[in-house]
Amino acid sequence: MAFSLSSLFLVCYILKFTLALIILNKEIETSRGMLYPRESETREVRTLDGIWNFVRSDETNPTQGIRDGWFKDDLSKSMPTIPMPVPASYNDITTEQALRDHVGTVWYDRKFFVPRSWGQDQRVWLRFGSVHYEAFVWINGRSAVKHEMGHLPFETEVTHLLKYGAENRITVMCDNALIQTTVPQGKISEMANDDGVTIIQSYTFDFFNYAGIHRSVHLYTTPKTFIEEVEIKTNLSENNTVGTVDYSITVNGTAANEAENTLFARLQIYNREGVQVANVTSDSKLVGSLQVDNVKPWWPYLMHSDPGYLYELEIRLYAAKEQLLDVYRLKVGIRTLSWTNTTFLINGKPIYFRGFGRHEDADVRGRGLDNALMARDFNLLKWIGANAYRTSHYPYSEESMQFADQHGIMIIDECPSVDTENFNQVLLDRHKSSLEQLVHRDRNHPSVVMWSIANEPRTGQVNADTYFQFVANYTRSLDSTRPITAAIAVPSNDDKAGRHLDIISFNRYNAWYSNTGRLDMVTQRVISEATGWNKKYDKPVLMSEYGADTLEGLHLQPAFVWSEEFQTEVFSRHFKAFDALRRQKWFIGEFVWNFADFKTAQTYTRVGGNKKGVFTRARQPKAAAHLLRQRYFALGREVDQCNVPNDLFTYIADVGGSNVKHDSTDL
């Protein structure tokens, strides 16, 4: 009856493999609080942005700082430090290759004062807009908070850790290592180099793994009992004349004299002119609804003459006897979304998306928040006539979400799951957590019209079906008011995830990765691939990526790969396909890859990064930008009857012929 050793191994192997295949839809920890820090009558906000001290750990000894207690005193007492701006990625700040390509932990610290007044009768919170990928934070040498997941905020109460009317120290350790269970996934390996061995971080995704304290660090105060969360949902009457704003408020902290059942809130809505248009007093459940008559709905850019209309919702939290506890204000756009198996509607009107895939990327700053860059990008989006973008391939800054609300730019909001494969339990839990954190952060933004649960997941693999069923259903359970998509690149025949989505997005690079240079092999292929997706799932379809790398200033006629002429031609061949598809009704949008050139890992297919930008990395237009602009405004005019800018066409000649386009009246 004896098993041979080899059959025992085989049994163990099969058992291990089978166990790895079983993934369960487990409960995961959910976020709390995280309202964007705003000043009010009851709250103060200050930022800790500026120049911090910085140390790169030894790659072969990433936990040295923890063991040696670098957080217990000034970093400079343990190691020589260099100045490092916050917010910014650290990678491109120095001239050192070792820092650019560093794998593992780095350390930051700085000093700051906390006013004496903050020590009385209030609470103090520390909030990070994002640290990529994992953060460990100490205040005055004591552990304050840990957080895993780039591009998403986290916060903690630090009331008990601070010294009031005195100097304090904050220390942050940041780890950029990506492994098979992080979101996104990566691999760490050791490789021989000329001096011994070195640690290599590899990843399949096509953008540089920038790291550091990427967004602002805030300290803010709240009263002891305060508004911790606000969730709003908006609706419109059938003819869009009456708006409703459903609210639900969560309060944190209940002092003895503020028994929970005596709390109530007064909510007021103000229009853009500051005139009050609705108000209500809640009961102690802090859940209810406001009604806005003669409402101005939130419309996307170019879908209406007054896009991005925002009201201000003012929430005043009271304890018994009208004692004002807290005030928080929030911008609100009132709109509805609905979708069928062919159409996606906003305020009852079908949407045709004309947009971009983007990156948060710039020279020197990497993925660090930069208000000047953000403002320029929105100006370019409006100049080119786009009405949407996808936050490929991770959540973008909260400040940019506020800009999108204000400018009427629709957002497909993507979590940081990219090229997801080798589906496993830890990965699933983290993936769901990334969506939970994203939905929690962005649920009140009118600009967010769709959740993207992944980019180019390997949806042909074993387990993809169950895995994406869990991820999609979980996202739906968090927010049923927005449709769910994922940008898929496997052929529709192989895909196992699409049936769990509401809208199908697909990425394909005809004439680039497939049939390179063959401009005559674009149009029909795009039409048939989109049709294949629709046939398989009977859902609306959009093209979420297409494009061609283009070296600014390279001109080759006839069009040749990498030239400006080629990018222009590739776009034009796609436009033809999109126009044929638009007649099918279920085709709902086109997204160019990419808005601007961006940095990637070093490979021989990338010349200084990915050059598929319609704009250069310095945010100047390539030749194709002008063509795209003409198309996006032409679509706006046809689909949404928008006005077109006077400078859309350059005057050529007054030939008067019926086929000659010489100004925008010819559209």
Q: Which residues bind ligand GCB (CB under 6 A)?
A: 206, 393, 455-456, 489, 507, 545, 593, 610, 612
Please report the DSSP string for 445-460 in residue order: -TTEEEEEEEES--TT
Nearer to ligand GCB, 510 or 610 (CB): 610
Tokens 């780039």 locate to 150
Residue 319 to residue 343: CA distance in whole angstroms = 47
Residue closer to ligand GCB by CB (options 616, 664) is 616
Least Å from the CB of residue 522 to ligand GCB = 16
Range list of β-strands (E), 492-537: 504-507
Q: At 118, list the tokens.
A: 């903050």
Q: d(Cα 607, Cα 177) in Å, to the nearest integer?
A: 25
- Closer residue to ligand GCB, CB minimum distance, 89 or 417: 417
456 is catalytic: yes
User: Which residues are CB-neighbours of 297 under 8 A, at least 6 positions away?
Assistant: 236, 240, 243, 304, 309, 333, 334, 335, 347
Reading the block at residue 331, the tokens are: 């911008």
The CB-of-197 to ligand GCB minimum distance in angstroms stands at 30
Name which of 445 and 612 has its Cβ closer to ligand GCB.
Answer: 612
Give the number of other Cβ atoms within 10 Å of residue 51's Cβ: 10
One-letter amino acid for residue 320 of the chain:
A
Q: Based on CB atoms, which residue is closest to ligand GCB, 49 or 456? A: 456
Residue nearest to ligand GCB (CB): 206
* CA–CA dist 105, 249 (Å, integer): 38
Judge contact between 438 and 451, C-beta under 8 A: yes
Query: Which residue out of 155, 360, 414, 456 is catalytically annotated?
Result: 456
Cβ-Cβ contacts under 8 Å for 517 (sequence gap 6 or more): 511, 560, 561, 566
Q: Give min distance, CB of 183 to ligand GCB, in A.
A: 15
Q: How far apart are CB 490 and ligand GCB at their closest, in Å?
A: 11
Q: What is the smallest separation between the CB atom of 664 and ligand GCB, expressed in angstroms?
A: 32
Residue type, position 87, single letter: P
Task: Output the smallest distance, CB 597 to ligand GCB, in A.
Answer: 11
CB 24 within 8 A of CB 427: no
Q: Residue 366 has what DSSP assignment?
A: B
Task: Determine the residue type at 385.
Answer: G
* Residue 17 or 604 having the CB closest to ligand GCB: 604
**Exposure letters 279-310 (e unless 16+ CB within 10 A, then b):** eeebeeebebebebeebbbbbbbbbbeebbbb
Residue with tokens 């042909």: 460
| CB of 549 vs ligand GCB, minimal distance in Å | 7
Q: How far is the CB of 214 from ligand GCB (least distance, A)?
A: 18
Distance in Å, CB of 176 to ligand GCB, minimum: 19
Give the 3-state secondary structure of residue 227: strand
Nearer to ligand GCB, 359 or 629 (CB): 359
Q: Pick from 328, 329, 309: which is nearest to 243 by CA? A: 309
H or E stretch at 290: strand 287-292
For 443, the 3-state DSSP assignment is coil
- Is-contact 635 384, C-beta < 8 A? no
Q: Are 662 and 655 in contact (CB under 8 A)?
A: yes
Q: Which is nearer to ligand GCB, 89 or 455 (CB)?
A: 455
Closer to ligand GCB at the Cβ: 336 or 505? Answer: 505
Q: Which residues are catalytic?
A: 456
